[in-house]
Structure 1
Amino acid sequence: MNPSLDNALEQALALAANEPAHRPAFFSLLLESTVYVLGDAGDGWIAGAARHDEEQPVNLQHWEKPDGTTAIPFFTSLAALQQTVSQAQPFLALPARTLFAMTAGAELFLNPRLPYGKAFGPDEISALMMNEGDALTERLILEGEMRITLSSPAEQPAQMIASLSRLFAEIKRVRRAFIVQVQDSAQEKPHWLIGLDCEGEDEATIQAVGRVATDTAPDGEPVDICLVGQEEPGISHYFIRHITPFYERKWGSWLRATHGPGAH
């Protein structure tokens, strides 16, 4: 087995690097994982000892990046750490949440010098901790009346649609998904609006969709998300009546399982 892919977090990192649809699962798993960081905790420290608090000071290594800035390296496993250093060095095993809390304001890099890695800037870490794994999206509620223009784009965002469709196939709660461009009077350029027809309001689903959409939007364009209801007026009515969904949940496998041998 490849020692850099020998645990669930490393496998999730590799999947997330290759397909944005897997990134929400990776961030959620990261927050619940123990990671490894080069450094020590001063007097009384035991090599490789686990730490679960962020109050006591620790001495962590900073590695220089090609642009001259520095980042704190951390690793998904001890095997991954050992691949990147040429000689034995002290290290700590820390819950990822503890590491993020004690290094607030610093840049970190997961698995540097390995085939799959991820840079974490201070703002991304802060959002990740505050939003429980949703590093890039935030909810904005608009009050009052706003005149907006909705249009079906001639050129669809292919990567976004492909990655979201793959995500929906795993989530199962999404029945249909639509995409349009939306522009209000305060904006010079339109942005993307994704409409979700879901089984109930699921915050985790909305966050996962926001994460993947943000990662795959063309040229980093902003993306909004709204819930679509069959009997709802306004935007929901426009989606249902005028826009063909780019994703629609298929029921074939469920029906075959229900009506297969032994079913009544």
Structure 2
Amino acid sequence: MSTVSERELEYRFEQAMQSYTNESSFFACLIRAMVYAYVPVSDDSKRVRLIQFRHPDGYEAIPFFTSAQRAARSSFNGLRTIRLPCSTLFEQTRGATMMVNPNDGGAVLFPEEVATLLDSGTLETFEKVSLKEGPVDIRPAASAPDNLMRALDGNVPLPPFIRDIYLLEKRTLDGASSRPSLLIYAGVEAHQMERGARHLVSVVQALDPRPADVVDVAVFDIAQAKPNFLDEIGAIPVFASGD
């Protein structure tokens, strides 16, 4: 596997910041690049210990950087910067949440996304969607790929913060003849809603074969009242944690 230059990685990062459609190219470069991380200046441990910071959303994450300049700009007393292959960083921190270029708006990578990146060599484009964007007709899915159904009904381990999953289909009302897209609609604990959505995206991306149709993911706060439209359309969850 050839190593990506820092210059190319920086270019790909800037492109990804301009449009989410460039994110896959950035991640494909990232996993083959050298990156920078923080360790304590003084550390008696025989193992390398990386610095973690608390994300504004409340979880701990390990920051890392695509260039020495970005790392130096964010550093402060008591830390020193090390340079290592991104793949090594990810392998040695499996299970951790990562932040790339956190002071420049870079992505948060949850543990399941890090695992996907290590296994597949990239992450596919992740676009946030909202059920409120334009008039749509939503119904329980009339049909869905068998492997998607198996993945969502408990055959693929799901984290405990994903509590309910509905498999729906949606069609825009301004194009009634268009083919409907599948919608995974999940009830997730409030403090893990983005991670829950992105975990389900990772589940879909790992399917073999992949669904031929578009699959969108949306989430709602499981602690709040269930959205009324689910009862109105007679939706039944394909997965329920039973808690």
What TM-score, normalized to structure 2? 0.49
What TM-score, normalized to structure 1? 0.46
